[in-house]
């Protein structure tokens, strides 16, 4: 890996692993730690960290969301950076925490201070760690899905693709409508199952048309949704979080194909 190690020396990163990574795909967390440590950072997962509060906030339970946000703000005080392997949770911390505390100046200031230190993983690697190349190999044709929160709230599109160009053996094939929602959307898929199913079926068809054998994305919720539909439609495409491929951790069964812990 090539990076600006002089700027990373001694810097502490608080990893926000996300609920889905913690409960369903811990290999994404381990891959994130490897990428950050290879770039020269010291990485911790602080005690007391928990859900970012996004599900509560999106469903109107503002008081519960603010309680979770306060817990996150307190847990991550003192770190130089907070890194999240998810545009969805990262977007909540960076974009929505200050909105949650619009009537509480003290906590709003704390939320904005945290937002200034918080980065989605691929954007952090490119724009802070200045990673130019990786010592990773993956033999396969991959296609990349842009998650809604990462793309629209955090302007993440080129960063993962730039990093993937450094993976030896990997061929990137862009799908049609890569910036269109997969139909997951947190509780959207529960509230509107028929619409969600149509959207993910369209996404699967776009994936199939690329001829890729692997699907990558930066949000585990989107990946679990698309991997499930790929399997139900019998499409032989493996799904991995982009961090797993960038870190060279592809010996774990693909998402939905086996136990990972």
**Residues 145-155: tens digit of each pLDDT:** 999 999 999 99
Q: What percent of the chain has pLDDT over 90?
A: 85
Task: Kindly state the average pLDDT of the residues 192-206.
Answer: 95
The predicted model scores a pTM of: 0.93
Give yes or no for a contact between 121 and 115, defined as CB atoms under 8 angstroms apart: no
Q: Name which of 245, 246, 195, 240 is nearest 222 in CA terms.
A: 240
**Two tokens at 215?**
């699907």
CA atoms 136, 15, 158, 211: torsion sign: positive
Is the distance from CB of 145 to CB of 221 less than 8 angstroms?
Answer: no
261 has pLDDT over 70: no
**Token pair for residue 11?**
């810097």
Question: At residue 3, does pLDDT exceed 80?
Answer: no
pLDDT of 238 higher than 50:
yes
The number of angstroms, rounded, from the C-alpha of 185 to the middle of its chain's C-alpha atoms is 14
């Amino acid at each position: 890996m090539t990076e600006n190690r002089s700027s990373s020396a001694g810097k502490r990163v608080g990893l926000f692993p996300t609920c889905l990574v913690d409960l369903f795909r811990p290999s994404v967390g381990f891959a994130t730690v490897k990428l950050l440590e290879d770039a020269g950072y010291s990485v911790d997962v602080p005690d007391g960290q928990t859900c970012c509060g996004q599900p509560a906030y999106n469903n109107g339970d503002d008081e519960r969301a603010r309680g979770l946000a306060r817990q996150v703000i307190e847990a991550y005080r003192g770190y130089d950076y907070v890194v999240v392997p998810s545009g969805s949770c990262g977007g909540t911390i960076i974009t929505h925490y200050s909105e949650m505390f619009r009537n509480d100046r003290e906590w709003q200031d704390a939320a904005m201070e945290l937002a200034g230190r918080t980065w989605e993983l691929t954007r952090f690697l490119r724009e802070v760690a200045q990673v130019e190349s990786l010592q990773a190999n993956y033999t396969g044709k991959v296609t990349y899905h842009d998650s809604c929160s990462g793309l629209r709230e955090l302007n993440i599109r080129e960063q993962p693709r730039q990093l993937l160009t450094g993976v030896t053996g990997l061929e990137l094939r862009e799908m049609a409508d890569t910036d269109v929602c997969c139909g997951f959307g947190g509780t959207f898929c529960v509230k509107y199952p028929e619409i969600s199913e149509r959207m993910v079926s369209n996404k699967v068809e776009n994936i199939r048309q690329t001829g890729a054998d692997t699907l990558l994305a930066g949000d585990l919720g989107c990946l679990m949704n698309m991997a499930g539909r790929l399997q139900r439609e019998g499409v032989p495409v493996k799904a991995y979080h982009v961090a797993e491929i960038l870190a060279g951790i592809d010996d774990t069964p693909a998402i939905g194909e086996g136990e990972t812990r």
